[in-house]
C-alpha cells in the first residue's frame, strides 16, 4: 500500500516537473525582453528539476536518486551563473527592457533606438581629443 502511494506521488511529481519546465519554455517564447525570458527559463529549470529530484527520491531507487541529486546539484549551481552571465552581456550591449514600467536601477542610460545601440556598441573607450 505504501509503495503504491509513493509510486503515485513520484508520477505526480514527474508531471509537475514537466508542466513547470514547459511553462519555462513558453516563457522564453512569450516574454518581451531578454531579462524576463532569462527569468522564466532559469526558474523553470530550477523548479522543474527540483520536482524531478523529489520524484526520483519518492521512487526509492538509490542509484537513480543519487544520479538525480548530482545532476540537480550541477544544474542548481550552473543555471543562475549562466543566467547572470547572459543578463550581464545583454546589459553591457544596452539591450532595452521592453516590459511595461521597467526601470534600469543601475542608473545607466539605456539605448532608445537602434542607432543608439549601434553607436554604443561601437564605442570601446572614451572619445579622443
Residue spans of alpha helices (H) in 60-113: 62-92
Q: Is the pLDDT of residue 4 over 50?
A: yes
pTM above 0.75?
Answer: no
Q: How far is CA 85 from CA 30, 45, 102, 116, 128, in A?
A: 21, 16, 20, 23, 30
pLDDT digits 0-9 by tens, 13-23: 999 999 999 99
Per DSSP, 14 falls in state: H
Instruction: State pLDDT tens for residues 18-57.
Output: 999 999 999 999 998 898 899 999 999 899 999 999 998 8
Predicted local confidence at residue 78, as pLDDT: 93
**Residue position matching grid coordinates 524576463:** 36
Please report which confidence band the pLDDT of residue 77 belongs to, taking 50, 70 and 90 as the band edges. very high
Amino acid at each position: 500500500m505504501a509503495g503504491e502511494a509513493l509510486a503515485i506521488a513520484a508520477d505526480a511529481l514527474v508531471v509537475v516537473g514537466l508542466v513547470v519546465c514547459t511553462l519555462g519554455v513558453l516563457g522564453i517564447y512569450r516574454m518581451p525582453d531578454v531579462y524576463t525570458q532569462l527569468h522564466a527559463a532559469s526558474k523553470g529549470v530550477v523548479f522543474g528539476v527540483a520536482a524531478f529530484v523529489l520524484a526520483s527520491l519518492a521512487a526509492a531507487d538509490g542509484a537513480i536518486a543519487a544520479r538525480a541529486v548530482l545532476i540537480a546539484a550541477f544544474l542548481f549551481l550552473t543555471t543562475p551563473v549562466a543566467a547572470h552571465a547572459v543578463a550581464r552581456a545583454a546589459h553591457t550591449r544596452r539591450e532595452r527592457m521592453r516590459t511595461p514600467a521597467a526601470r534600469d536601477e543601475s542608473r545607466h542610460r539605456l539605448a532608445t533606438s537602434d542607432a543608439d545601440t549601434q553607436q554604443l556598441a561601437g564605442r570601446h573607450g572614451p572619445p579622443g581629443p
